[in-house]
Amino acid sequence: MTALAIAIALAPLAGPAAALAGARARAAGAAQAVGAAAALGCAIALLVLLNGHPPLRGWDGFLYADPLSGFFLLTVSGVTLLAALGSVSYIAAQEDGGELTSFQARVYFGFFGLFAALMLASLETGNLGLLFVLVEASTLASAALVGLEGRARSLEAAWKYVIISSLGVTIALAGTLFLFYSASALHPGSNLALTWPYLLAHAQALAPQSLRLAFLLAVVGYGTKVGLAPMHTWLPDAHAEAPSPASAMLSAALLNTGMYAIIRFLAIAHARLGGTYPRAVLLSFGFASIVIGALFMVRKGNFKRLFAYSSVEHMGIIAVALGFGGTLGLYGALLQVLNHALAKAVLFLAGGDVSLRFKTREATSVSGLLAAVPLTGGALLLASFAVLGSPPFGVFLSELTIVRAGFARGSPAFPLLLLALLGLAFFAFARTTTAMVTGAPPSTTADPAITARNHAVITAIPIVLGLAALLVLGLWIPAGLDSVLRHSAAVIG
Amino acid sequence: MQYLSASSTAGILLDLAGAAILLLAFACLASKLFNRYVVYYGAQSVVLAFAAGTSAAAFHSVELWILAALTLVIKGVAIPVAARRVLIARLAVKRDAAMSTGLSTSLLAGGALTAFAYLVTRPALLPHGTAAAAVVPLSTAVILLGALAMVVRRHTVAQLIGWLIVENGVFLGAITLVATFPFIVEAGIFLDIVAGVLIMVVFVSGITRQLAEASAAELRELRG
């Protein structure tokens, strides 16, 4: 099992290795995709071995994996595979078109693989200090992706991203410090004692006041990475300016990694402080994010910003679901993590294809996608309805679960508010995307069907894969996944 | 986990170093000239290295000695020198470190944040009579002051150094309890900071080339 865990974190480095060896975008992308597929395979194998068995521990607690880690490993490595496949066509097209130099393409794959590897590694550690180190390192690796294009706008976005996220994660480190202080009564003597499983097992001996502060700092700190309002300000810029497959990685993998860190702190806080305090914190940040996300989606403009604000909204929904708590709420939150990741990856990849063909990221300049490029247009339409929670896709199922969990908690006010906000988000988001998909294609564009014809097949693969997975999850949750979700929810308590 | 008692020599030295670090954070906040700002940051890091050395001597920890030396060399000397040489000289950054609020306003805010740090961390959080109980409020205040410097300074380089002040505050908190962070983690944090500085410098020079002046005040194309 240890070998599997190591393989998961190392496999995505195939892309950087190829890039270092001087491969062009297509070859480096293929290596990246193979590496990501290997990571996904290992993650599934690890999950099968972990499910219902004692967690994997090793190296003085630095290595730790339970079903919750396994579930996030599955999500992140799956997204990495989709984004790597998407990168092959997107970056190769940009390299062929002269928009990126071959050096930039190599830098892209160098940091893409590093970013994925660091995120996967951060999901496998039990030491909360090391968790910080890996999350911060993944921030830095992804900042290089955001600033890749080197224009004034992308540098501005990268600067905002790196400075806000670094500060945020440093605040999470202060939270980790206070968590360790709260454990002073335990007189822990070794590294093992400062790991998550030990702290959870000895939660009753933690000092409550210091733990409260630790939990709040962790939610604010890692919440910056998750994109919870009001710490979300870096998110729309970074998502809009990064190359589209990198945006998919940010939205569908990075935000979830931050959420994973919050869940670890939540488990300890819940065990010691009971439900009231963590619930208040998570519901406040969650609803703030949903409101901000939904309101900013109303404006028409850059469609990648629209997708980004939808991510803010969905991270808010997940935080609210964690706040509702109970088995149902936690189950819904985790299912939402997976479904949102798939839907958002498909949206950004389809959006990337649109921006390649139309040479614009403005929603108002795009129309008639269904007529011009049926596959991308259709995928964009289906994925937007999927992300908004329409049946028969997976997000519908998870949001239904979350609302049910809210009603099960007693007060109907919160789930009703959630439903109203989801309605607003639906209107705001669908208004823009349906206008992009329907109508006649703009005549000014230089025949969008031809521009990227060489990449049609490879572009379609990740989009179709993602949509298929999303549809399956909406109709049927495999028994294995169901049991993983139940075991993970039990970890949180 | 071992504790330093507040009345031991090492405890007193740590407390004094913490107070000096807080004062230097205020000095950073108040300095008008870029050179001074960078020098105060370097001085703060030197005091931090001294604090780490004190802690290392008290706990007989080789790893802490290594960290103290790294702090002295990288944060105390290399980063300030590089900031002055590379960024200020080569990129012709203006000598005046512009602020978006008045000096007195930011100092008042800094005082309020320090009081807030004591309010939040003082009561019954930590075992009484330990050095940590004295130093943690100081380090929390340094974290908040660094964040304030990031907010009020307009220049990208000044914001970067604000982040490093925040890191110094966290590090000060971390060294008062020795077993808190294993060496791998401390070393990893260090590596992150160095990598962070490097990547930020790349962005700063890119922005400088594009805008002629790397002032975050000019960074307002992306909104909403």
What are the start-end ranges of the E strands in A246-289?
none
Q: Are the CB atoms for A334 and A74 separated by under 8 Å?
A: no
Q: Does A171 lie at the interface with B, CB-CB under 8 angstroms? A: yes
Cis, bond preceding A392 (omega within 30 deg of 0) = yes
* Banded pLDDT at A487 (limits 50, 70, 90): confident
Does any CB of chain B come closer than 8 Å to the CB of residue A453? Answer: no
Question: Does residue A161 have a pLDDT over 80?
Answer: yes
Which helix (H) or strand (E) segment holds residue A346: the answer is: helix A326-358
Q: Which residues in chain B have Cβ-Cβ distances shorter than 8 Å to A188? A: 1, 179
Flag the least confident range among A376-390, A452-466, A467-481.
A452-466
In 3D, which of B224, B89, B221, B211 has the Cα closest to residue B156?
Answer: B211
Q: What is the pLDDT of residues A169-222, one digit of tens each?
A: 999 988 988 888 888 777 666 666 678 888 888 888 888 888 898 999 999 999
**Residue at token pair 């290596």:** A31
Residue type, A225: K
B200 to chain A: which residues are within 8 Å by CB?
159, 162-163
- Percent of chain B's residues with pLDDT above 90: 23
Q: Do B125 and A207 touch (CB under 8 A)?
A: yes
CB-CB contact of A300 with A363 (8 Å): yes
Whether residue A241 lies within 8 A of chain B, CB to CB, comes out as yes
C-beta of residue A312 within 8 angstroms of C-beta of residue A233: no
* Cα angle B58-B64-B67, degrees, rounded to a multiple of 5: 145
| Per-residue pLDDT at A450 | 46
The kind and range of the H/E element at A64 are strand A63-65
Instruction: Measure in Å the smallest separation between the Cα of B4 and chain A Cα atoms.
Output: 13
- State the smallest CA–CA distance between residue B73 and chain A in angstroms: 21
- Output the CA torsion sign for A476, A480, A483, A485: negative
Point out the residue among A140, A166, A194 whose CB comes nearest to the CB of B163: A166
- Chain B contact for A295 (CB, 8 A cutoff): no
Please choose, from the candidates A182, A211, A321, the residue with its C-alpha nearest in 3D space to the C-alpha of residue A270.
A211
For A170, which of B3, B167, B184 is closest by C-beta distance?
B167
Of B174, B179, B188, the CB nearest to A177: B174
Q: Is the pLDDT of residue A273 over 80?
A: yes
Which of A162, A369, A54 is closest to B201 using CA atoms?
Answer: A162
> Could you tell me the two tokens for A444?
């000014």
CA distance A296 to A325: 28
Nearest-5° angle of CA A461, CA A464, CA A465?
80
pLDDT, tens digit, 9 for 90 and up, residues A211-222? 898 999 999 999
Sign of CA dihedral A115, A119, A125, A131: positive
Tokens of B138: 């100081």
Which ipTM was obtained for this model? Answer: 0.87
In this complex, is the C-beta atom of A218 within 8 Å of any C-beta atom belonging to chain B? no
- Taking CA–CA distances from A152, the nearest residue in chain B reads B210
For testing contact with chain A, the best of B203, B208, B211 (most A CBs within 10 A): B203
How many cross-chain Cβ pairs, A to B, lie less than 8 Å apart? Answer: 145
Report whether pLDDT(A461) > 90.
no
Cα angle B181-B185-B186, degrees, rounded to a multiple of 5: 75
Closest CA to A143 of A175, A171, A107: A107
